[in-house]
Chains A and B, each alone.
Chain A
Amino acid sequence: MSMNEDRIHVSERLKLLGLEVYKQLESGMYPKIKLPVRSVSNIIYDQEKGVVKLGEKMSIRSSSNIKQSKAFARLMWVAAFAKTNLVDKGKSCSLRDLYYHSFNDEVIKFDEQDESDNVVIELESILGVPRETFNILPEEKSSIFGDLMIEYTTPESHAGLRVNLMSDPDGKNIGLSIATAKFIETSAKMVIAVEKGAMFRRFIEEGLYNRLNAILIDTGGQAPRFTRIVIRRLHEELGLPVYILTDADPWGMHIARVITSGSAQAAHIPFLATPNAKWIGIWATDIKKYELPALKLNAIDTQRLTTLERDPRYNDGIWAEQLKSFKKIGLKAELEAFSKYGLTAIIDRYILKKIKNIEKDI
């Protein structure tokens, strides 16, 4: 299932949703629709595939229920807006745009953006595709750099234009256009995703991409959905291995975990995940091993560890191991900690070795 295929089909899917409701109305019934339950009780971890996804539980939204009729109408409004104003016209808008657009209709009008965001998530779960496919786009920032020739498919003004992602030394912002572009040609042998812009920049400046023949990605903290889409595409379409580099703390570890197995929030669209991506550190065990300057875990960090402990995604493998280790040593370290040994030490002493070791293990 690719992003582009989804985009082609989404207009049809929206129409089918409309038809399902229309037919019920036509036969004199109060329309009802099924939608997946998104509560924690229905989020499951698929061990085999290594991703988080929604279970089988469905709920029914009925237009004859006084408590649901408004939500029903709002869902239909978002669907109709996405189809007629966005997808069919090749335009996009942000979640915030959508929220303000609702002000045109007194009955529909959302009081808070949370409410309209939530309806968008509902629509995603019904259609089984991310909102990006129906052109409601996030505002997150993340970047990509490396030898990859792409050809834009959207917006129309740029369709057909080819660009090499190495052409901009600051990296290119990952948005709808890159996520939907065709991948034409690359010499890259791997993808390295790092959680911090400063590291991303250093890797460009130090020519890491050349030494490893890598495409670099700055996830900008927790990886946005477009970024996860691009990572997955790079892995699936180009067959590139993906390595993830984060701070050595519970938060960094989870950034890696979301890229590999998906997030609970987007459990209704599990195919954003790249289960084969590898977390190459910094691990808890590396703190001692490399004698990195470390800080003690604070209360919030510890609490986070406890939460992750209960998460099935941390039941085994490197995840269970490192979680235990963090708890044991009670320390955390940042990527920058390697600067103790010089600015390029993280590359020379760590990344190259780590990748070699991991590939060996496999």
Chain B
Amino acid sequence: MIEEKYESISPADFFYRNKEIAGFDNPARATYTILRELVENSLDSCENNGITPDVEIRMIRINDTNGVLTSKISENGDLFKIRVIDNGGGVPQEHIPLAFGQVFYGSKYRLKQARGLFGLGGKMAILYGQITANTTVEVASATLGSRFVHYYELMIDITKNKPLQLKRKILENTDGWHGTMISFSFIGDYYKAKSRIIEYLWQTSIILPYASIKFIDPDGVMYAFERKTESMPKRPREILPHPHGVDVELLKRLIIKSKGMTLKEFLIENFQRVGPKKAEKFLGYAGFQPDLRVEKLNQDMIAKLSAAMKNFSEFLPPDASGLSPIGKELLKIGIEESTDAEFVHVVQRPPSSYEGHPFIVETAIAYGGKIQPAGEGEVNLYRFANKIPLLYDVYNDVSMKVIKKIDWNNYKLKIYNEPIAFFVHICSTKIPYKTVGKEYIAEQPEVAREIELGLRENARYLSAYLSRKRVEEMSRTRLNVLSKYLKLIAKYSSELTGLPELVNLPTETQIEEVVKQ
């Protein structure tokens, strides 16, 4: 008999051992992921405080890597230093060490639409930097109205999942700055990641036309994505979970929090859109006494309750006020400014839900401008989930499958050969990603249906636009032909009569009337 050895590992240790899960599997991918995680944290920090984001990213290449590389680095790559500065709400100074030095610590555990859910990505980036470059992370932050800027230099104690505070400074905030600066080194491959990064920033500027993003790359080239509008979408509210979207684990946690409550009180208190009547009706359906204390529920009863919550059909549909769609106006601005398209049409579908999770789909179609025909079998499709561009695995995505399913001939659109681009934005408290890598969205029927309805409406509008345009072009051609001959007719009528040649021929508007007949 072999004796097995059991040991617990810290979350930081776990991610260190499984870094490929979070998108750090090679230096190029890691470079892209680090930049993205930091930018998204910055954008969230701005938006949560209702501030139009100003994000500046700078990456420099550090030539001398001697003595810096640890033996743990096996891949090729260069040493880079990244620094991201935003104008967000900042991090209260007492939270800084934990927020940047402990995995699973953060502000995003509540249920509302946000870019990341578990505050994980940023710390994974820091952790990756520490592992590959063996250097510290520098953080400076000032909250709104703060008289001081708090500066920390930290490392993560991987085995204990604890921050190691190496330096701390408090500086006078002389120019009223607020926001966060983060900077650390890592081994990466910028040149392989470059096109992805630029694409990511460009697409981000489409979905966030109110953000200004500047990126100075290791070659010293600046990519500036200017702010196109000052208005921002409404901020999402925090909402309670919907009964349909709850699993046993969440139920247990909520029960622990709710000791002393009756089942009826528990339901009303912890779930959205459940009132006293609905709670009683549900409990009757599930076979529980409304005044049963929650701590009396055993394992089996919890499982039974959970199943009943999923199956009860009379709960109201999920509340979508926790969502923050971009909105027709802003999305239109973002697409128009980024593509110079001659025609853009945006649809925002009404809120819908799957498995108790509310979601809103926004779709857009754009024609012309810088958009190039995609080519046979290809589609210009830009996907966004909770305001994040999705760059990988486009052909597995639900939007692509919907597009391939639609018969575009019905709309007289040649999606492969005409300069057409599609945009799909899904916002939800839980995006139905297909994989851990969060690169593409599963074919959830409710979601697919909303995407299809949105795209079909877009197509109708584009189709109408194009046929109007064709008619106008035809009219213009006809107008040219008519006036060409009319000039000759005038010339020869004057030759025949010996009268002076007429120059004031019937006006163009009159010709247009004739053409319309």
Contacts and interface: CB of A to CB of B under 8 A. Distances in A.
Given A25-B505, A29-B506, A108-B488, A18 B482 contact: no
A15 B496 CA distance: 5
Most buried by B among A14, A19, A66, A105: A66
Nearest to B504: A28
Interface in A17-35: 17-19, 21-22, 25-26, 28-31
B495 A21 contact: no
Nearest to B502: A25
A76 interface: yes
Interface string A72-101: 110011011001100000000000000000
A17 B502 CA distance: 16
B495 A83 contact: yes
A1 interface: no
Given A25-B490, A25-B502, A70 B497 contact: no
A107 B506 contact: no
A357 B506 CA distance: 67
Nearest to B482: A69
A18 to B, nearest CB: 2
Interface string B481-517: 1101110111011111111001011110011001101
A19 B502 CA distance: 12
A83 B506 CA distance: 26
Given A30-B514, A69-B482, A76 B489 contact: yes
B488 A26 contact: no
B478 interface: yes
Contacts of A17: 496
B497 A30 contact: no
Contacts of A15: 496-498
A159 B493 CA distance: 32
Chain A interface residue bracket vs B = 20 to 34
Contact of B492 (A18, A26, A30, A70): A18
A107 B505 CA distance: 18
Contacts of A69: 481-482, 485-486, 489
A81 to B, nearest CB: 8
A80 B493 CA distance: 7
Interface string A108-133: 10000000000000000000000000
A83 B497 CA distance: 10
Contacts of B515: 66
A18 B492 CA distance: 7
Chain B binding surface, main DSSP class: helix
Interface residues of B, number: 27
Interface string A221-238: 000000000000000000
A108 B485 CA distance: 9
Nearest to B486: A63
A64 B514 CA distance: 6
Contacts of B498: 15
Contacts of A77: 488, 492
Nearest to B479: A66
Contact of B496 (A29, A80, A108): A80
Nearest to B506: A28
A53 B83 CA distance: 96
Contacts of A31: 489, 493
Nearest to A26: B502
A83 B514 CA distance: 31
Contacts of B485: 63, 69-70, 72-73, 107
Q: Is the interface of A mostly helix, strand, loop or mixed?
A: helix
Contacts of B511: 30, 64
A80 B489 CA distance: 10
A30 B490 CA distance: 10
A105 B491 CA distance: 13
Interface in A34-67: 63-64, 66
Contacts of B502: 22, 25-26
A66 to B, nearest CB: 5
Interface string B320-342: 00000000000000000000000
A28 B489 CA distance: 13
B510 A28 contact: yes
A31 B507 CA distance: 13
B449 to A, nearest CB: 46
A19 B484 contact: no
B482 A76 contact: no
Contacts of B495: 18, 80, 83-84
A105 B485 CA distance: 12
Contacts of B507: 28
A231 to B, nearest CB: 32
A292 B115 CA distance: 110
B210 to A, nearest CB: 49
B496 A79 contact: yes
B260 to A, nearest CB: 86
Interface string A263-282: 00000000000000000000
B510 A76 contact: no
A345 B313 CA distance: 117
A63 B491 CA distance: 14
B489 A18 contact: no
A77 B481 CA distance: 17
B514 A18 contact: no
Contact of B499 (A22, A66, A70): A22
Contacts of B514: 30, 64
Nearest to B510: A28
Most buried by A among B492, B495, B511: B492
B42 to A, nearest CB: 60
Interface string B443-487: 000000000000000000000000000000000001001101110
Given A22-B502, A28-B510, A107-B484, A63 B489 contact: yes
B506 A30 contact: yes
Nearest to B497: A18
B499 to A, nearest CB: 6
Contact of A73 (B492, B506, B510): B492
Nearest to A69: B485
A83 to B, nearest CB: 6
Contacts of B486: 25, 30, 63, 69
A79 B492 contact: yes
Contacts of B493: 18-19, 21-22, 25, 31, 76
B515 to A, nearest CB: 8
Interface string B300-335: 000000000000000000000000000000000000
B506 A19 contact: no
Interface string B179-199: 000000000000000000000
A250 to B, nearest CB: 43
A19 B488 contact: no
Nearest to B490: A25
A17 B505 CA distance: 18
A105 B514 CA distance: 26
B482 A22 contact: no
B22 to A, nearest CB: 65
Contact of B489 (A19, A21, A83): A21
Contacts of B490: 22, 25
Given A18-B493, A19-B497, A107-B488, 11 more contacts: A15-B496, A19-B499, A21-B496, A25-B490, A63-B489, A69-B485, A70-B481, A76-B488, A76-B496, A80-B496, A84-B496
30 contacts: A15-B496, A15-B497, A15-B498, A18-B492, A18-B495, A19-B496, A21-B489, A21-B493, A22-B490, A22-B497, A25-B493, A28-B506, A28-B510, A29-B506, A30-B506, A30-B511, A63-B486, A64-B482, A64-B514, A64-B517, A66-B515, A69-B485, A69-B486, A72-B485, A73-B485, A76-B488, A77-B492, A80-B492, A107-B485, A108-B488
- 7 smallest beta-carbon distances between A and B, as pairs: A18-B496, A76-B492, A80-B492, A64-B514, A69-B485, A80-B495, A73-B485
